[in-house]
Amino acid sequence: MKRDLAQTVGAGLLAGLAGTAAVTISIALEARLRRRHVPTVAAPIMQGALGIETFESPAAEARFARVAHLGYGAGWGILHGLLRGLGLGPKTATAASFSAVWGGALVLLPSHDVAPPVFLRERVDIAAEAWHQLVFAASTGIAYELLARRRPRDL
């Protein structure tokens, strides 16, 4: 039982990292197409949660932003793994993960002054955000299923 939980969490974490890689590419492509700056969203939230007021350099701040981005994605991947471990099917777990990730973003981002509330955003920005959350959830779900297939059942 403990091994099953550890494998579920581990596969979720790795799947979340894969989803993070996919959404990072999606965000970068969208930013390039729309000729806009790529905002960091996880870093300000993590910075506030950890009580970090300043960084010693812009490089340190950039490193923190990358780690926060990866940690945020890995954490949501663990949720996906736990949903699968509880018996939800792949499509249902992915839909639930999408709802949790985007719903969380709709609450967290405005509450930490990272983005305005959704009703004050442009339609194209809402569509882009929904797309990126879908890319993350779908990529995480696919990665989890691939990892679950390769997982040894009896050691």
Residue 152 has pLDDT above 90, yes or no: no
State mean pLDDT over 34-43. 85
Give the chain's mean pLDDT. Answer: 92
pLDDT tens column, 50-82:
999 999 999 999 999 999 999 999 999 999 999
State mean pLDDT over 136-144. 98
State mean pLDDT over 103-114. 92
Residue 8 has pLDDT above 80, yes or no: yes
Q: 28-42, 62-76, 91-105: which has the minimum mean pLDDT?
A: 28-42
Q: Is the dihedral of CA 135, 139, 141, 142 positive or negative?
A: positive
Dist. CA 67–CA 12, nearest whole Å: 17
Dist. CA 146–CA 67, nearest whole Å: 25
Q: 39-43, 130-134, 137-141: which has the minimum mean pLDDT?
A: 39-43
Dist. CA 115–CA 133, nearest whole Å: 15
Cβ neighbour number for residue 149 with a 10 Å cutoff? 7
Q: Which pLDDT value is given to residue 61?
A: 92
Structure tokens at 130: 């929904």
Q: Which pLDDT value is given to residue 54?
A: 92
Q: Which pLDDT value is given to residue 99?
A: 98
Give this prediction's pTM.
0.91
Pair 142, 23: CB distance under 8 Å? no
Dist. CA 123–CA 71, nearest whole Å: 28
Q: Which pLDDT value is given to residue 155?
A: 43
Residue 41 has pLDDT above 50, yes or no: yes
First to last CA, the chain: 13
